[in-house]
């Protein structure tokens, strides 16, 4: 049995994520694709900023990225790319500056983790989101929204690159207010 989470992880609900992505798309396409990539893959910002075109396998039946990642222990990871993300990613790769970066073997997302943190914060504020939003919140959002859709814990663990299932469950086994309200409504004693 998994322990209760040490703290409730911050995440965005579906509406908040859509607002942020819509605001980013109107503001700056490069920021938009960077934020969408974080949201749709669940990778860490440090992993994102190290990706080169060699990490992308786009012509496969199920397009994916492959890289060495991990917070503490570095190991190879494979992350599938969502079809909605893939369409925007292909447009991104056609931008002249990005094409030049690909040609030169440079990183695909030309930012430091700190730069990503700054524009994520600004765009979240511009979108009217009244909570602290960092690049890592996209990772939490990815996992939490999958969990809410009843995706198997083992699948989420693999997608996040956690070595132990207990890590995934400890972090994301928390419940949100809507789940607590729903549980209360199911309480059998009505008197």
Which domain CATH number covers 139? 1.10.443.10
* C-alpha to C-alpha distance for 76 and 167, rounded to whole angstroms: 18
pLDDT tens profile 103-115:
999 999 999 999 9
Residue 191 domain flag: no
Least confident window among 155-159, 163-167, 174-178, 182-186: 174-178
Residue 5 domain flag: no
- Compute the average pLDDT of residues 72-101: 90
Residue 32 domain flag: yes
Residue 4 domain flag: no
Number of domains present in the structure of the chain: 1
Q: What pLDDT score was predicted for residue 5?
A: 47
* C-alpha to C-alpha distance for 142 and 97, rounded to whole angstroms: 29
Q: Which of 55, 155, 154 is nearest to 101 (CA)?
A: 55
Query: What's the mean pLDDT when you consider all of the chain?
Result: 86
Residue 112 domain flag: yes
- Compute the average pLDDT of residues 25-46: 96
Residue 3 domain flag: no
pTM of the model: 0.84
**Domain interval for residue 30:** 14-185
**173 has pLDDT over 80:** no
* C-alpha to C-alpha distance for 166 and 152, rounded to whole angstroms: 13
Residue 6 domain flag: no
* C-alpha to C-alpha distance for 146 and 173, rounded to whole angstroms: 12
* C-alpha to C-alpha distance for 48 and 173, rounded to whole angstroms: 25
Residue 75 domain flag: yes
Q: Alpha-carbon dihedral of residues 171, 175, 176, 179, nearest 10 degrees?
A: 160
């Amino acid at each position: 049995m998994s322990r209760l989470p040490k703290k409730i992880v911050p995440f965005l609900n579906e509406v908040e994520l859509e607002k942020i992505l819509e605001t980013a798309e109107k503001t700056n396409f490069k920021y938009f694709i960077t934020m969408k990539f974080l949201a749709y893959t669940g990778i860490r910002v440090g992993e994102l900023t190290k990706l080169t075109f060699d990490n992308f396998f786009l012509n496969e039946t199920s397009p994916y990225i492959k890289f060495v990642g991990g917070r503490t222990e570095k190991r190879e990871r494979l992350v599938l790319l969502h079809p909605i993300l893939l369409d925007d990613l292909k447009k991104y790769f056609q931008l002249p500056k990005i094409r030049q970066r690909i040609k030169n073997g440079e990183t695909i997302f030309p930012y430091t983790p700190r730069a990503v943190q700054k524009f994520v914060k600004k765009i979240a504020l511009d979108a009217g989101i009244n909570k602290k939003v960092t690049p890592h919140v996209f990772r939490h959002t990815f996992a939490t929204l999958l969990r809410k859709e009843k995706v198997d814990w083992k699948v989420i663990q693999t997608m996040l690159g956690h070595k132990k299932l207990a890590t995934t469950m400890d972090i994301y086994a928390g419940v949100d207010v809507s789940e607590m309200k729903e549980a209360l409504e199911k309480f059998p004693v009505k008197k």
